Every structure is written in C-alpha cells, then in structure tokens.
Structure 1
Amino acid sequence: MAIQRLPPELVNQIAAGEIIERPASVLKELLENALDAGARAIQVDLEAGGKSLIRVRDDGRGMTPDDLVLAVASHATSKIGSLDDLEHIATLGFRGEALPSIASVATMRVTSRSEEAPHGHVLTVAAEAELAPAPHPVGTTVEVRDLFHQVPARRKFLRTERTELRHLQELVRRVALGRPEVGFQLTHNGRALMQLPALPAEAAGQRVTAMMGEGFTDAALQLDAEGAGMRLSGWLGLPTASRGQPDLQYIYLNGRMIRDRLVTQALRRAYADVLFKDRFPAYLLHLQIDPAQVDVNVHPTKHEVRFRESGLVFDFIQRQVAQALAHGGAAAPMDGDGSHAPVSTPEATPTVSFASSGPSSYSGRLALGAPAPPPTSPGSALPLAEAERVYGQAHASRLGQAIAQIHGVYILAESANGLVLVDMHAAHERIVYERLKAQYASAEIARQPLLVPVPVTVTPAEADRAEDGQAVLAEVGLEVDRAGPEQLRVRAVPALLTDADPEALLRDVLGELEQGSAGHVVEGRVAQLLGTMGCHGSVRANRRLTLAEQTALLREMEQTPNIDQCNHGRPTWVELGMADLDRLFLRGR
C-alpha cells in the first residue's frame, strides 16, 4: 500500500484510542473542561454505567457560538497559544483533543451560553456540525450518548454496567476531593448517588470526611509545609489508619490528579519506619510547584508527570511527611468546621538517658536537675510535698505516671485522660532505633570494642557477604573480620547495643545484607539494618523495672520521634480514656 494521508475521522478515532478507554475517560475530560472554565457547581448524569449517556453540566464561563464551533475542532483550545505557554501549563487540559476525540466515537451535543450572550446555542456534532439557538443558563452542558456505537470492537471490551459505574464514581470522588470549593452532584439512571455542596477553604475537612470517612479524619494529621519553591498540604493518615490495599491514596499536583511513581516512592519511604509490613498508608496531599518545573505533557491521560528536579521533589516530600509523622503523635482534634489543627512540633522537654547495669536490671536517670526518685516499697514513701511534685510533673505529661508493670511485658500508667498501657520492648526498640538513626545521619555511630572478640561460625557464603560488606558494617557500628573460610570474629558493636548478643546480632545483620548488593546497601536497606539492630538493643520482655525506671521510659518515649509504633509498625502504647473505662463498666447508663 502506498503512503497516504489518513482521513480526519480515522485520525480522530486513533487519537481517541489513546485518550478514551472507557466511560470514565470521557467523564474525566469533561470534568477537567468544566473546572478549567471556572465552574463552581457541576452536575453529572449517567445512564447504563455511562454507556448510554454521560451528561456534564456546569456554571462556568460558557462559550460564544464561534468558540462552540471551534471547541469540537481538532487541536483548537483557548488554554495555550505558544511554546512558552506549553512550558507553564496552569490548566487541566491544553491539547484541544478531548471533544473531537469523544465526538469520533460517540454522539455528542454541546449546549453553551457565555455571560454576554442573551441566550445559548446548541451544537450537534455529526457528519456536519449543526449550530442552533437554544435556551441555557450561563455555562455549558455536554451530552455524550452511545459510546463506541461506531466502533463495535471497542464497545465489546467495556465491562458490566456495575463495573463501569464504579470507575465513574471513583473518578468523581477523586475530582471532588481535590476541589472542595466546587459543588458536585452525581446521578445514575435517575437515582442520586452523590451530592456535595461547595465549601470554603477553611471547611475543606468536611469534604474529606464526607468522601474518606470519619475513620480517616479521626486518625489523620493535617500537613502544611513549604520549602524549596514547593508547598505540600493535605491530610496524612496515621499508621492506625493504614489499609490492606492502596485505595485511599490521593495526590494532586497543582490541582491535577496524578499517579506518579516518584511521589509514591517518596511517601512510601516516609511511612517505612512506622507502617507494619503489607499495609498501605492513607493520605490526601496537594503538591504545588512552579508549572515551569514540571512537564505534564508526557502521557495521553496526563496522569504521569516529569519533574525537572526530581531529586529535590523526592527529598522535600519524604522529609516533610516523615517529620509530620514523627512529631504529630495522635491525630489533632477536629475543629468545629471539620478541619484539623495543623501539625506542630512538641516543645522540647528534658532528655532521659538509660544505662544498663546488668542482665536483669534496667536503671534510668532523669535529667531533670535531680536524681530519679527511689523505688517505692510497701513500707516506705516519699514525703507528701515531694511526692505531689514528682507525681504532678509526670501526670501532666502525655503518657502520665507509671503505676505498675504487668507480667514483665507492659507498663501501666495513669495519665490526665485515663490509663495508658505501654509495650515495654516495642517502645524501647523504637527509642534505640531512633538513636541509631541519628548517629548514622551524623556519621558517628559510636562503637564499643569487645575485650574478647566473639567467634562466629558461618557458611562460606555468609563469610563472603561479611567480607564484601565491611564498609556497610562499619557504617552501622560493627567491626567484623574474617578468621577462616567459615569463621568470623566480632571485634566491636555499636555502643548502644553493648548488652546485645554479638553473635545473634551479626547473624541477623548478615541476613539483611543478603538482600542488598555486595559492598553497598541503599538507604532503605540501611534503615532495615538499623531497625534489626535496634531490636537487639531494646529491653526484653519479662524484665522487671522499678517504678522510677518505668516512668523514665515514659519520659524518654515522649522525646522520641515516631514513638507510637515500633520498628516493625506495631503500636507501642494505647490509652483508655475515662469515657472508655466508664463504657466498660456501664457507668452513666
């Protein structure tokens, strides 16, 4: 066959194949057009899962008759006009392909009226576009009927009505979450499915609660951070709001829905320290950046983007989210308008240091200008004034005053709100891990040489791994040398882990190294190494602590980032408020 020019209708159908995959693809393009037109109220009507009808009506600026005719022509748009505009895209659409592509695979009618016009006009798109006067308020209505009726091969690939409707609902949900200032109504076969009023900026949390549920907003932090020419705002679900699948993850770039690998990886890294394995975080985040620093013209559906300074964007997102999770603690209380107070960093309080004095004891020193109060016994007590002072300071703290240890595993404390239960091992594991991370970040993990090197028998593969990974082991505070084909010697361990079993520690670290490349472990693997080491350095279960030591642990917890979860994502403490206790005992009924 000789080379020939393709007819316009075939060109449009090929273009539609890249843009229009299913009814939700049509609706996405129409919603973006409505938002670009400045709509503040959008009505969406569907029939048969969008296969028979998709109607979008908005109260935006509308179009003149001339613009209406141009709107359905290929590559005609009011959103860009030069190469410079293409590098500073601030609208959701810009290619001028949506309406002609839709018209090539469906029956389409567009009715619109501009503010200056006395009445509207309707354009029926067929073989020849027909323009006629029509009554219509200011704004635009686009009707798309019989999707893919001209392309039976495409229509048979559509799923069931229920499946297509689910995709349509999720799309409206995503758009509505990103634009709380716009009202949305959604109907299907005449039945109302969604009705969301437009909200002022200060009440945006109400839209989040309505769409993501109270379970999310009750366990979420509000974030608002700026830096490096970017702004990151929105809601971060705490680990307690994690999910078994990534179905509550919403990211918007300059108001545009995206599914970007770089952003997702940055968020995954930020949550890695606090999330249990096989769990997914929930979040709704808006990233604002200079349009010139991002290319949105890299994918037909515009879901994927490319950043000019990808490393800077990654670091900014990862750092801000990690800091918010570390310092946010429990979810901030909801304000009356449905929004959270922004995350704030807790004030610094005196540090607490721990020093082990033997295999069965655990001593704490409170850096409060006075030594820790001596352990109480049934026959002794502090003077009343001193007891009130010490108790008052602890009771005013977040985790309160320790009152008992349960089976050598849990600490029971009385707080201002009720009772607190602490998993002693999990909490101290997080404390040691955060100390190791801080030392690693400053390249100063202190080592403690062993008086007698500890021999460890390993497999030849493990010995090779240790030899190849000398640099990594040194970075995390371990000094190991090879004494034979199947023999290693541990000469030094991190100073924070002097009580750990050197042999068990080395074996676990070698297990982590097996999953990294020889001689090099990326940052995520180093974090896992430190987490494993933190587990070895923490207080073990069934270890008896005095009340003073228990309280010292509580104070140290209050100073530690990410203390709400251990290194493996398990909770370190829970609180039973007075209302919870009253409910357990049926008080007030």
Structure 2
Amino acid sequence: MSLERPVRTLNPEVARKIAAGEVIDRPNAIVRELMDNAIDAGATSITVEISGGGIDRIRIIDNGNGMTRDDLENCARPHATSKITTEVDLMNLSTLGFRGEALASIAAVSRLSIQSGGYKMRASLTEDHLIEPAAELVGTIVQSEGLFENFPARRQFLKRPATEGIMCRNTFIEKALARPDIAFRFVSDGETKIDLPAGQSLKDRFVGANSYSEAPELFYEFAQSSGGENPEWSFTVVIGEPAVSRSNKKEIFIYANGRRIQEYSLVQAVEYGGQGFFPNGTYPVAAVFAQVRPDLIDFNIHPAKREARFSDISALHHGLSSTIRSFFHQYTYSNFAEDKPADQARNQEFNFEPEVPSAPLSSSTAPTTSSFSDSVYEKHISYKPSETKSESLSDFRSKFLGIKSNGGWPRSEHAASFSTKSLAEQALSVAQNSDSPSVSEPQPKVRYIGPCLGTFLLAEKNNSLYIIDQHAVHERILFDRLMNSQGDAGRQPLLIPYKIKTESKSQDNQLEKLKAELNRIGFETEHVSDGYWEIKTIPERWTGTEYDLRTLLFVKQVEPAQIIRSIAAMTACKAAVKDGYVLDDITASRLVEQAFTLEDPHCPHGRPIYTVISREKLFELVKRT
C-alpha cells in the first residue's frame, strides 16, 4: 500500500455503477433481463418497445402475475430476489433470473419505473423507491429511460441508435425462440417490427422469428431424451436440410433450460452430426433446445448467464451428434432412394427412430461404432487407350473400381446390388439376338450417355438427365468400401508409445469408456497408472501426432468412429479419380451404375455426387411445349 494511494472503501454510488456495468453494458442487456423477469412471472403475452435504439427508452409490458406494494418497495435494491433464499437453491434453478441484480443495476444507470398492482415505483441514483398510486392493470409495465445519462464515460462507448436497436431486436428474438407458447411483439420507434403469436411449434417460431429466406418446408424438428421416468437430459432440434447452409457457425443456436448459452461442445455436436451431409466449409442452420436436470447444470458462472457448467456433457454431446446423424441418414434415404429430380418436391415424412444412448450424464456411454478396412487400396490408373494395351480391361476396372472379376465388393447389407454385365455387353447381346423374336432382353434402367467437360458423366434414367461428378461418386464408393470393410483396422506399433496425462477423474472415465472402441479401430490403449495412459499402436492411415489425438479426445470430444471417418474420407479423396481423367466407356458406365446403388448420394465431405434435371424441366428451359 502506498501512502499516496491508500486503500479505501468505494462510496455506494461508484460501487453500484461498477456492479451495474457487469450486468448492464448496453440497451439490449436491459431487454434481456426484463424479458427474463416477464417470462418468470408466467406471462403469456410480452411486448417490448424501444425508442432511440433503447438508449432513450425501453418499455416491457407483460400480463404475468404482477407485483405487490411490498415487492415494489424492495425490488430494485442490490441482490433483492423472490427466486432463491439459500445457496442450495442455486443448485436447482428453474427460473431464468435469480440473482436480484437486474433491477438494481438498471436503476443505477438509468431512470427506472415499474407499474403493477395499483402502484407505480420510481428508482434511480437520485430517487430511492418512490411509490405512488396508479391505475390497476393486469401484469407489469417496466420502463427504463435515459440510459447512462449519469454515466457519460460509458455512454460514449454506445453505438449509433440504429445499431443498438438491432442488438435489442436480436436479444428479443433470442428470448422468443425458446418459448413458442408465449406471444411476443417487438416495437421500435412506434412501429411493430416483429409479431409472434402464441402456440407455434419450435420450428415455426425459429423460422418465423429469424425471417429466413428459405421456405419453412426445408426445416425439420425432432426430439430425443436420455430415457427413464426422470430423464437427466432431453432436447429438441430444429435444423435445416443441407440446402440450407451457412459459411460460419453463427446460425447454430444452443439453449439450455430456456437460456441461450455459448457452449462450444454442443455447437460441435451439431457440426459432427451433419458431417458428410453439408458441403465443405458450410455449416447447418439449427437450434438445440436442451433440458438438463437442474442439479446437473450451473448457470451461476457468468454475469449475463451466457455460459453454463455441466456436470458431464459427454453423454449429451454424443446423444445430440448421433441423433442428428441418424436424422440425416434417414433424410438422405427418403429424398434420394427414388432418384427424384432436382425440381421435384421432397418428401417430408420420416419414421424417425434414432438410436441414442439412454445413459445418464454421469454414467458411461458407449460410442457409435463403425468398421474400418485394414486393406490397402490399390490406387487407380488414369485410362488412356494408347497406354493400357498391356493390361486387360477387366484388370483395369478391378483396380479402378475395386471390383473383383465376379463384380462384387464389400458393401453394407442395405445396399442394392448391381449387374456385373456392362451396358455395352447388354447392347451387344441384344444386337446378336435381334433376328430372333423369341428372345426378349430387358432394356437397361440406366443409359450412360458419355463424358462432359472432363469432369462429369452424363446418364439418362427415368425420363431424367443425370449429371454425375466422377470424382465425387468414386470418392463415395471408396469411402463406403473402407467404412464397411469388416474386421479390425490395420495398425502399426509405436516404437515410443504416446503418453497421455489426464487432468481430471472425468477424463480418466472418458478414456475408460472409449478404450474398447479405440482398441478396435487401431489405438491400443492401456491405463498405466492414475492419470497416465499409453497408446501403443495407431491405425495404419493415421498421420496425426500425440497432441492431435489428445485434442480430438478431450478438447473437441470427437468420437473414435468419427476419427476413423475423417481418415477414411481423406484416403478416399486422395485415391479417387481426378477431374480431367479420361475413362473408357465400360469403366465409366460401370461407375454410373454404382452411383445409383449408393445409400448416400454425397461425397464424404457433403457434396452431391449428381444433379438431376427432369424431362419436363428441360422442355421448360428450351421453351418447348
């Protein structure tokens, strides 16, 4: 301590301003806190009015339970709240507000007035809970005026009213999304900007409130829980199909018990769930509304309650990613199984029964398993007639497509088989028997037309033109072959094993749960002692480091199956035929045939392997009737 600067206790006015600054930093923070209070009061209709971007005035009108005179006399004092009484209540929160800081903070930086129960209260730095009679009304009206007019140092950092107004609007939308049972209205400078009726579905509320340009029919809603009479977690997901995508993750909303929070792990779970269905570099538009048992989540770690601490988030993370993945598998099958043209309406009906672990947050959860081929893929050869004279065509097709002489290669049990007879051979057979009326050879369902622009293969099927990306289809074929091959992955021993030091018992438990799956895919894992693990082998195709593996497991929380999926996708991409490679007609037609046997018509990175134009659409394009 310096004699020139001794330690002193701040006077109450300065202390209140500092404390208020942690909760109220700009107008939208007032909107956030007052909307929380209105929802907690049981309101079924809430109106938010702002003037001058909320700097001049913010007024919240609700039809909730209202306040008594005694409530009004105490409500704007520091830490005054009706929602908790002891520290034990913090572990079982069921309301959005609980600290009793909001109204006191608003009064410290603006002129606050509250009308309810036949009385009106005014509070600010110059007025201390002045109460006067007022007209009776249902619910409560809370108003804030002149934000930071007594705090110029903070007021100068506010943005222009138009910008502050947009922030208020975004906060309004954020709060309205989680409660489609409540009617919300947003009014700015006397003009109604948003009017959301009560009784909407989460999907309709999400699409309507955000004013997305995409049609509501392109969004889906589904739910899942951990199971049991009193599930430890449950969630509802609203998500757009792959045609609805963004270049960043800003449109992935995470809610926990009605609050929007910043939770990287759950954003990541949404990203992983859509992996392979969204093109490279794009992300879903989605909202996750999670309900977690109150004693398993703590919101009392951030002044604005934007963060939460979970007892164990791994089971929820896994349940969310696997449920979304299951949905998109079914979505893909439903929309592409019948090879619908691009201009034909998609089927919206799903029999959605994803397999999700029912284990609680605090118990072990077995990850989803995926097989991984331990065979080494024989890299294809670019076919040019003058360069393949010494190699038989069947040998070349075997190398290029991974097809044995009998036409078979490992596929999942659900995949359709294809004829080993090439289109050219079928055509030859028909020609040879054309003079005999007793012979009836069925026409091929798919007619290969030819290559296009060095990248695409053209085919005709069911009165539609298919434009097939030769690299994407080959990449998907090779990827499926790797993922569907049976048996353990090929592995190689490490001369110096990876040494992983865990930082908590939770990480030890996580590794213990993943041990069997890690061993199966090639990472032979052994618990050496408390807090220490060794990885003695790695998959043959693994190119990462010890640090990479630790990051995937503990920071990104990637499931083992997804590690292998990434390896398989990378391997398939490097091995697949590239743009500009010239294929012979038999090889190209065989590739086209296989394109229509794929369960998922996307490359592992989410790009579609073909686009379809119907006969009717082509007629329309050339103005033919």
Q: TM-score scaled to structure 1, two decimals?
A: 0.74
Is the 1:402–1:411 Cα contact (8 Å) retained in structure 2? no
Map of 1:138 onto structure 2 = 138
Map of 1:557 onto structure 2 = 598
SS in 2 for 1:568: coil
Is the 2:459–2:466 Cα contact (8 Å) retained in structure 1? yes
Q: Partner letter of residue 472 of structure 2?
A: A
**Which of residues 232, 235, 246 is equivalent to 1:232?**
235
Q: Between 372-381 and 264-273, report the one with greater CA deviation.
A: 372-381
Map of 1:530 onto structure 2 = 568
SS in 2 for 1:79: coil
Pairwise CA distance, 1:567: 2.7
Is the 2:203–2:220 Cα contact (8 Å) retained in structure 1? no
Pairwise CA distance, 1:25: 0.8
Inter-CA distance 384–571: structure 2 relative to 1 (3 Å threshold)? farther
Q: Partner letter of residue 566 of structure 1?
A: C
Is the 2:331–2:350 Cα contact (8 Å) retained in structure 1? no
Pairwise CA distance, 1:545: 4.1
- Is 1:125 the counterpart of 2:123? The answer is yes
Pairwise CA distance, 1:159: 1.0
Question: 1:144, 1:16 → 2: CA distance?
Answer: 14
SS in 2 for 1:165: helix
**Offset from partner CA, 1:508-553 (integer Å, 9 cap, x none):** x68x547965999765665433222112444565334469735641
Map of 2:56 onto structure 1 = 52
Pairwise CA distance, 1:52: 0.5
1:44-443 paired onto structure 2 within 5 Å: 44-113=48-117, 120-126=118-124, 127-201=127-201, 204-205=203-204, 207-209=206-208, 211-215=210-214, 217-227=216-226, 229=231, 230-329=233-332, 341=349, 344=352, 357-360=394-397, 362=401, 364-365=407-408, 372=420, 375=423, 376-377=426-427, 380=430, 387=442, 391=445, 401=446, 403-407=448-452, 409-412=455-458, 418-437=464-483
SS in 2 for 1:358: helix
Inter-CA distance 418–281: structure 2 relative to 1 (3 Å threshold)? same
Is the 2:111–2:123 Cα contact (8 Å) retained in structure 1? yes
Question: 1:3, 1:470 → 2: CA distance?
Answer: 52
Question: 1:551, 1:287 → 2: CA distance?
Answer: 43
- Is 1:574 the counterpart of 2:608? The answer is no
Inter-CA distance 70–385: structure 2 relative to 1 (3 Å threshold)? farther
Question: 2:551, 2:196 → 1: CA distance?
Answer: 52
Pairwise CA distance, 1:316: 1.9
Pairwise CA distance, 1:261: 1.8
Pairwise CA distance, 1:421: 3.2
Is the 2:457–2:467 Cα contact (8 Å) retained in structure 1? yes
Question: 1:527, 1:16 → 2: CA distance?
Answer: 49
SS in 1 for 2:74: helix
Q: Partner letter of residue 86 of structure 1?
A: L
1:3-14 paired onto structure 2 within 5 Å: 6-14=10-18
Q: Between 17-26 and 70-79, report the one with greater CA deviation.
A: 70-79
**Offset from partner CA, 1:320-364 (integer Å, 9 cap, x none):** 22222333228989xxxxx96556379xxxxxxx99952246454
Is the 1:122–1:133 Cα contact (8 Å) retained in structure 2? yes
Question: 2:144, 2:601 → 1: CA distance?
Answer: 51
Is the 1:221–1:331 Cα contact (8 Å) retained in structure 2? no
Inter-CA distance 87–552: structure 2 relative to 1 (3 Å threshold)? same
Q: Between 269-278 and 188-197, report the one with greater CA deviation.
A: 269-278
Is the 2:488–2:521 Cα contact (8 Å) retained in structure 1? no
Q: TM-score scaled to structure 2, two decimals?
A: 0.70
Question: 2:101, 2:608 → 1: CA distance?
Answer: 51
Question: 2:62, 2:292 → 1: CA distance?
Answer: 28
Identity of matched residues, % = 28
Map of 1:25 onto structure 2 = 29
**Offset from partner CA, 1:119-150 (integer Å, 9 cap, x none):** x2211113221112212431111110010111
Inter-CA distance 411–344: structure 2 relative to 1 (3 Å threshold)? farther
Inter-CA distance 57–254: structure 2 relative to 1 (3 Å threshold)? same
Inter-CA distance 221–373: structure 2 relative to 1 (3 Å threshold)? farther
Is the 1:328–1:343 Cα contact (8 Å) retained in structure 2? no
Pairwise CA distance, 1:570: 2.5
Q: Between 169-178 and 238-247, report the one with greater CA deviation.
A: 238-247
Inter-CA distance 214–419: structure 2 relative to 1 (3 Å threshold)? farther
Is the 1:222–1:340 Cα contact (8 Å) retained in structure 2? no
Pairwise CA distance, 1:173: 1.8
Q: Partner letter of residue 554 of structure 1?
A: A
Is the 2:177–2:205 Cα contact (8 Å) retained in structure 1? no
**Offset from partner CA, 1:261-293 (integer Å, 9 cap, x none):** 221222233334344443333211211221111
Pairwise CA distance, 1:386: 7.1
Q: Partner letter of residue 422 of structure 1?
A: I
Q: Between 548-557 and 282-291, report the one with greater CA deviation.
A: 548-557
**Offset from partner CA, 1:10-33 (integer Å, 9 cap, x none):** 333222111111111111001111
Question: 2:121, 2:439 → 1: CA distance?
Answer: 87
Question: 1:5, 1:538 → 2: CA distance?
Answer: 71
Is the 1:221–1:328 Cα contact (8 Å) retained in structure 2? no
Q: Partner letter of residue 121 of structure 2?
A: L
- Cα root mean square deviation, aligned: 4.1
Is the 1:221–1:332 Cα contact (8 Å) retained in structure 2? no
Is the 1:429–1:534 Cα contact (8 Å) retained in structure 2? yes
Pairwise CA distance, 1:572: 1.8
Is the 1:469–1:518 Cα contact (8 Å) retained in structure 2? no
Question: 2:174, 2:266 → 1: CA distance?
Answer: 17
Pairwise CA distance, 1:586: 3.6
Inter-CA distance 96–325: structure 2 relative to 1 (3 Å threshold)? same
Pairwise CA distance, 1:5: 5.0
Q: Partner letter of residue 429 of structure 1?
A: E
Question: 2:158, 2:611 → 1: CA distance?
Answer: 48
Question: 1:385, 1:217 → 2: CA distance?
Answer: 49
Q: Partner letter of residue 426 of structure 1?
A: A
Is the 1:254–1:289 Cα contact (8 Å) retained in structure 2? yes
Inter-CA distance 386–421: structure 2 relative to 1 (3 Å threshold)? same
Inter-CA distance 415–296: structure 2 relative to 1 (3 Å threshold)? farther
Question: 2:616, 2:48 → 1: CA distance?
Answer: 44
Question: 1:534, 1:105 → 2: CA distance?
Answer: 60
Is the 2:498–2:546 Cα contact (8 Å) retained in structure 1? no
Question: 2:418, 2:594 → 1: CA distance?
Answer: 16
SS in 2 for 1:56: strand
**Which of residues 27, 36, 42 is equivalent to 1:38?**
42
- Is 1:15 the counterpart of 2:26? The answer is no
Q: Between 187-196 and 298-307, report the one with greater CA deviation.
A: 187-196
